[in-house]
Amino acid sequence: FSDGGQFLDTSNAVERCQELLEAGADMLDIGGESSRPGAKPVCAALELDRVAPVLERIRPDTTAIISIDTYKPEVARECLRMGADVINDITALRNAQELADLVVEFRAGLILMHMRGMPDTMQTLPPSRDILAEVQMDLTVAIWHARDAGLEPDKLIIDPGIGFGKTFEENLLVINRLSFLDDMGPILIGPSRKSFLGKILDRPVDQRTLGTAAACVFAAARGAHIVRVHDVAEVREMLQVADAILNEGTREC
C-alpha cells in the first residue's frame, strides 16, 4: 500500500511480500484496490486479477497469516478458497454484509475497519461531532452483524481506521484514546506513513519511518495488538523494546 503502483506487477509484489516476511512480518495484507484518499474503486475482476496471482505464489511458501484487503464478496470468496486466512474489510460490512457469511463458511478471520465515507469521498466529509463515539458505534454495529452471521469473537479484529475520513486532530485523538476500544476485541492500527505524520514532521511519505514507529509504540502502550506498517524491521525492533519495558513494569517486586 502507498506504493505508487510499483507492486501492480505480480513479480514485484511477490518479492515485496518475501522482503516483509524476512524483515519479521507475522502477517501479510494483500490488496488489489487502492484505499488512499481520492482513489477510485475498481471492478472485482480487475481486483482479483491483481491479487490472485500473488496469493497463489506466496501461500505455499509461508505459514504467516495472509489477509486480503477487500470489501467485495467475489474477491473474498476466491481468495479464501485459495488459502487466505483473513478478510480485511475497510467498510466494516457496510457494503456487503454477506462477507461475514463467507468468513464463517471458510472458518477465517475478519478485520472490521472504521471509515467515514469511501476512499474517493472520505476527505471531503465534514468533521465528526464526536469521532470516538462514532467509531465505537459504527464498529459495534459491524460486530453485531458479524456475530449474527455466526462469527466467533476470537475471529474478529477491529481497526479504528487512522487516516480514513478523519481530520488531523481526530487521528491524534483516536490514537491517544485507543483504549476506548479495549472491550471490543483485538485492535489493529495502521498509522504507517499517514498524512498526519507528515503534518507533524514536515516530511515526505518515504521519510516517515521514525514517526510511524513512534505512533505504533504509543498505540501499543494504549492497547493495540497488531500494527500494519511498511517498514517492518524498524518498527518491529522498537516495539520489542517497548514491549519489554511495558511487561517489566507490570511485574510484581
Tell me: the pLDDT tens digits for 35-79?
888 788 899 999 999 999 999 999 999 999 999 999 999 999 999
Closest CA to 164 of 26, 19, 68, 35: 35
Is there a contact between 135 and 161 (Cβ–Cβ < 8 Å)? Answer: yes
Is there a contact between 165 and 125 (Cβ–Cβ < 8 Å)? Answer: yes
Does the active-site annotation cover 194? Answer: yes
Mean pLDDT score, 204-211: 96
Q: Which of 50, 116, 193, 194 is catalytic?
A: 194
* Summary mean pLDDT of the chain: 93
* Rounded Cα–Cα distance for residues 82 and 154 (Å): 22
Mean pLDDT score, 108-135: 91
**Is the pLDDT assigned to residue 2 strictly greater than 50?**
no
Mean pLDDT score, 178-185: 95
**Residue burial 202-212, b: 16+ Cβ < 10 Å; e: rest:** eeeeeebbebb
**What pLDDT, on the 0 to 100 scale, is given for residue 251?**
56
Mean pLDDT score, 208-215: 98
**What pLDDT, on the 0 to 100 scale, is given for residue 252?**
57
pLDDT tens-digit map of 65-119? 999 999 999 999 999 999 999 999 999 999 888 999 999 999 999 999 999 988 8
Is there a contact between 111 and 134 (Cβ–Cβ < 8 Å)? Answer: no
DSSP for the chain, please give it.
Answer: --STTTT-SHHHHHHHHHHHHHTT-SEEEEESS--STTPPP--HHHHHHHHHHHHHHHGGG--SEEEEE---HHHHHHHHHTT--EEEETTTTSS-THHHHHHHHTT-EEEEE--SS-TTTGGGSPPPS-HHHHHHHHHHHHHHHHHHTT--GGGEEEE--TTSS--HHHHHHHHHTGGGGGGGS-BEE--TT-HHHHHHH---GGG-HHHHHHHHHHHHHTT--EE--S-HHHHHHHHHHHHHHHHHHTS--
Q: Which of 50, 166, 222, 228 is catalytic?
A: 228
Does the active-site annotation cover 203? Answer: no
CA atoms within 13 A on the CB side of 64: 21
* Rounded Cα–Cα distance for residues 100 and 113 (Å): 13
When pLDDT is cut at 50, 70 and 90, the band that residue 233 belongs to is: very high
Could you tell me the domains of the chain? 67-249 (3.20.20.20)
When pLDDT is cut at 50, 70 and 90, the band that residue 7 belongs to is: low
**What pLDDT, on the 0 to 100 scale, is given for residue 253?**
46
- The three cell numbers locating residue 42: 475498481
- The three cell numbers locating residue 199: 503534518
